[in-house]
Chains A and B, each alone.
Chain A
């Protein structure tokens, strides 16, 4: 077992930025360990050439590395066959692929069930289908920020074709019971898609035992480079689906008036793929596997436990936070506010006393002030505007943890929040 302190030393950015630098924005993107950076350099220095088709050895080598990356990612999420992994740019692209490809067979009146805690990437691609008469429904949340299962049951109907839910909310940190939901969805005869952008990097995720039909995730949120992500899909489903992007690599034959498609997964990978990204992602999953995803989850659970403890003790004025208090269903994400600023309804008349001084610190002020203390957090709607509206706040500040964060980071965060609370009150 690695020591967490040693793990931090594997990330060059922490020695380059100095020891005061505290990075609490891993839900947006993670820092990269030396092995990932080296793997990318090594590919360009020793193995670079275009994949597929090439007859010469270097091209075969690049193709082999690309295929090894696919196998590594496939094993990492418990998929039984690497052909079930399609490399994409990120979770967003994977969801766009699914909305486009699955959407082609949907008809007016068909329903897609999402939840109010989805990232925009799991909402907007589905909205493109509204023109066809497809209806979007949203599962609500309960007071503690978990999915309202009664609401889910009532909205899962015989018109529901697809259910697409996040495994872990990027704002609340809620970990949804995707295994339990998969059973319900399949009993209903619907397809089940999981947005794993915030779960695959942080906890063991096994598609075979969850029995989801699709799972999407981004490489850059799990130590890998930007611009690479994966779509997992059950082989028979991927085989039945129409392609998304057209072009080279994804065809078998092209005629003037039609084409035939390559086998899965190439059918979905038009154009020269991001081999550098796939290689970097392989290095990332190998690194994570070495630490053990159980250990990653345990570490983050400890950090969120400590966070909620410090929050209880904090003297910051009007400190509120969101998401479940039960750390067993809570990822390493802490969204908070010092007082709440309501979203503006333009019909509301602005009142003279609405400047909020003393009653609330705007999350942008919070993030700027924390940055002054060398603490990086995100502030805003976190690409989940329907959720911030549901919570009746214009924005939140968000700290999100990963393997290189420590209890000290959390303690420094709360010391800074208290100080900022004094400055603004």
Chain B
């Protein structure tokens, strides 16, 4: 088994048995994002305390890449500060997956990262106002 095969298997396992699946009651922020082209949908709810992600859950539907990545990413960001999450780049995310997705499917993977970042913006805008 190559590394890429192993990483695909890990992603598929996240898809079949997603971590942090569900919704948080009274979250600090909640965002739903979707890609009209393929119908991939992710909704993320987060709890933020002292500028740190203390709880995160997602629900969604779509392909294994969009849903599997959401599961992996929720694992990754739990406990991080908002500044740390904001610094996660597209390249960081794709490195984390460790699979060569190709340009058309990178969009599927990036959906959950965009959703988390929108949650943070929503939280920060709310705190400022």
Contact = CB atoms under 8 A, between A and B. Distances in A.
B60 A354 contact: yes
B59 A355 contact: yes
Contacts of B60: 350, 354-355
Interface stretch (A7-15, A62-70, A166-174, A338-346): A338-346
Interface in B56-83: 59-65, 67
Contacts of B22: 352
28 contacts: A341-B39, A341-B61, A341-B62, A344-B39, A344-B61, A346-B32, A346-B34, A350-B43, A350-B59, A351-B59, A352-B59, A354-B59, A355-B18, A355-B21, A357-B15, A362-B40, A362-B62, A362-B63, A362-B64, A363-B38, A364-B63, A364-B65, A365-B64, A368-B65, A380-B37, A380-B38, A395-B39, A424-B64
Contacts of A356: 61-62
Contacts of A365: 63-65
A343 B23 CA distance: 21
Contact of A355 (B23, B32, B65, B67): B67
B41 interface: yes
Interface string A412-425: 00000000000110
Contacts of A350: 32, 41, 43, 59-61
Nearest to A362: B63
B21 A352 contact: yes
A344 B63 contact: no
Interface string B96-109: 00000000010010
Interface string B11-46: 010011010011100000000101001111101000
Please name the 8 residue pairs, one residue from A and one from B, whose CB atoms are nearest each other, closest first: A394-B39, A362-B63, A364-B63, A354-B61, A365-B63, A365-B64, A350-B59, A344-B41
Interface of B: 12, 15-16, 18, 21-23, 32, 34, 37-41, 43, 59-65, 67, 105, 108
A381 interface: yes
A362 B105 CA distance: 12
Contacts of B23: 352
Nearest to B71: A355
A398 to B, nearest CB: 14
Nearest to A381: B37
Interface size for chain A: under 10, 10 to 19, 20 to 34, or 35 or more residues?
A: 20 to 34
A364 B61 contact: no
Given A355-B60, A358-B16, A364-B108, 10 more contacts: A341-B39, A341-B61, A344-B41, A344-B61, A354-B61, A365-B65, A368-B65, A394-B38, A395-B39, A424-B64
A277 B124 CA distance: 55
A363 B65 CA distance: 12
Interface in A383-425: 394-395, 423-424
Contacts of A395: 38-39
Contacts of A341: 39, 61-62
A343 B108 CA distance: 16
Nearest to B23: A352
A384 to B, nearest CB: 13
A423 B41 CA distance: 22
Contacts of B43: 350
